[in-house]
Structure 1
Amino acid sequence: MIYDVIVVGGSYAGVSAAMQLARARRSVLVIDAGQRRNRFAATSHGFLGQDGNSPDAIADQARRQLLAYPSVTWRGASAVAAEKQADVISIATSDGLTFNARRLILASGVTDELPDIPGLAERWGRQVFHCPYCHGYEVGKGNIGVLASSPLAIHQALMLPDWGPTTLFLNGAFQPDAEQSEKLAQRGVSLEQEQVVSIGGERLEVTLASGRVITLAGLFVQPRTHLNNPLIKQLGLAVESGPLGNFLTVDQMRETSVAGVFACGDAAVAAGNVAIAVGDGARTGGAAHQSLIFR
């Protein structure tokens, strides 16, 4: 069998893309390894109709709704190899099978690399975050920290005072220039020069090199992101350098540098947000469908 489209990645962007194709009565195979980027978060926010629900509940509901369409097949596995010959794309999976399709959508996301500070990773998605729009409201106007890992921390630090009193922990990552310092002062952001040595406590306690402890309601960081899908190199897809990591190059129709291969979600958009991923998936699914008709 040759599917119309294979979607690699069954998180929010991938399911959204597959939904558009299913509703166009196209045959779709979704290959999913079950590693959503936001699996560490207790709740998800900012997505209409699902605000405050758990990521698991949102994903499970989306999958059930998708699989109600008879033209959709779901495969719980990893996509480990890809080959394109003429107009057919072959995908091999971790369970030893090979599937063919006329189009491929990569919605496999990215992997986050957090600063190497004891106690930080254990609180990722629960007390430590990257998206103010996703989690800023829940800190309840409490004290907020921004842990700098690059000069991009300035962007978070200037935004977050809208959600609560903000301290920028420079942590040796960079030193604000005069203009940046003025803008931070105008926003009421406090600067902390001491090195952060650990994160702990039920109330999120930041311990500094001197032993001083600052208690926060939430801490925001700028993780590096990595494209770990092996299919990207195997297919020779072009990538672009973003401020925090590489992402796939796509055109206005969400097609990559290889004809017939599309991409959506965090792998193709330099932003991590459920609502954005769902919208990008819908756009990509529609584009892939139209490519089956108009070329």
Structure 2
Amino acid sequence: MMHDVIIVGGSYAGLSAGLQLARARRKVLVIDAGQRRNRFAATAHGFLGQDGQAPDVIAAEGRSQLMEYPSVTWVQDSVLQAATAPGGFRVHTQYNGGFEGRRLILATGVVDELPALEGLAERWGKHVFHCPYCHGYELDQGRIGVLATSPLAMHHALMLPDWGSTTLFTNGVFTPDAEQQAQLDRRGVRLERTVVTRISGERVALELADGRVIQLDGVFTMSRTRLSPLAEQLGCVLADGPTGPYLHTNETRQTSVAGVFACGDASLAAGSVALAVAEGVRAGVGAHVSLIHG
């Protein structure tokens, strides 16, 4: 069976793209492995009409609404390979074999590669975060730490005083120059140069190499992000983002490969539910228009 569009990834961006195509009565196949990037967080914020809602509830309601359209098929699986094929594209899944579609939307998201610090991974999305707009308000103007993984920690450090009393832990990664130090001073950011050796506590406590323990209400840090290998298999051009590569797209969200579109965290140098939904609309509409005009 030739689908009009295959969407790889059934989280917020993929669901949003699928909805546009389903409403255009196109045959849509969504293939999803069930690994939402924000699955570690209890609540999602900054998304109008869903502020404070559990991420899995938002995703489940979106899927339920999408599956009301009879032209949509859902397959729970992982896509291992993608390639061009006569008339479009062919993807191969781990358990359900191959599928073909005239257009392909990559809504695969990204994988966060976290700093290798004991105690961090189990607190990711709970007390250790990457997005101030998503989680800063809930810290109630408390004590906030910024754990540097690169000089880009300055970005977090200069933003976060709007959400609470902020300390930048340089962690042996970099030393602010005179201009950066002046910026930190203007924002009231404290500087801690001692290396962090471990995160502990029921909430979050940073243990330092000199034996001190600093209690905080939340920590922000930058992960490295990794894309699905499908983009490379298809030959899509990538752009360099602050935390890792992402898919380069045009205004219709088509990649450098004709007929392949991308949306969500895989095609943005930032991540949030609201942005993913918005970009999914653009990719779904872009794919539909390309089908009309060939």
Q: TM-score, normalised by structure 2?
A: 0.98
Mapping 1:78-227, distance limit 5 Å: 78-227=78-227
Distance in 2 separating the partners of 1:96 and 1:27 = 18
2:271 match: 272
Give the aligned residue type for 2:170. Answer: L
Unaligned runs of 5+ in 2: none
Distance in 1 separating the partners of 2:203 and 2:94 = 41
Give the aligned residue type for 1:158. Answer: L
Q: TM-score, normalised by structure 1?
A: 0.98
2:239 match: 240
1:85 CA drift (Å) = 2.5
Mapping 1:28-67, distance limit 5 Å: 28-67=28-67
Provide the alpha-carbon RMSD of the alignment.
0.8
SS of structure 2 residue aligned to 1:50: coil
1:255 match: 254
Unaligned runs of 5+ in 1: none
Give the aligned residue type for 1:288. Answer: A
SS of structure 2 residue aligned to 1:234: helix
Give the aligned residue type for 1:111. Answer: V
**1:69-119 CA distance string (max 9 Å, x none):** 111000000111122134321111111421111100000010001111100
Give the aligned residue type for 2:111. Answer: T
SS of structure 2 residue aligned to 1:154: helix
Give the aligned residue type for 2:292. Answer: I
Distance in 1 separating the partners of 2:84 and 2:115 = 38
SS of structure 2 residue aligned to 1:5: strand
Distance in 2 separating the partners of 1:243 and 1:64 = 35
1:224 CA drift (Å) = 0.6
**1:245-295 CA distance string (max 9 Å, x none):** 001111111111111000000000110110000000011101110011123
Distance in 2 separating the partners of 1:263 and 1:128 = 28
Mapping 1:1-16, distance limit 5 Å: 1-16=1-16
SS of structure 2 residue aligned to 1:173: coil
1:15 CA drift (Å) = 0.4
SS of structure 1 residue aligned to 2:82: strand
Mapping 1:70-85, distance limit 5 Å: 70-85=70-85
**Could you list the runs of 4 or more consecutive aligned residues of structure 1 that deviate by over 4 angstroms after TM superposition?**
none
Conservation of the 8 A alpha-carbon contact between 2:77 and 2:96 = no
Distance in 2 separating the partners of 1:68 and 1:110 = 28
SS of structure 2 residue aligned to 1:4: strand
Distance in 1 separating the partners of 2:74 and 2:213 = 49
**1:192-237 CA distance string (max 9 Å, x none):** 000000001013111100110111010000111011x232222111
1:231 match: 230
1:285 match: 284
SS of structure 1 residue aligned to 2:6: strand
Distance in 2 separating the partners of 1:98 and 1:72 = 17
Give the aligned residue type for 1:26. Answer: R
Identity of aligned residues (%): 62
Distance in 2 separating the partners of 1:88 and 1:243 = 33
Distance in 2 separating the partners of 1:88 and 1:251 = 19
SS of structure 1 residue aligned to 2:36: coil
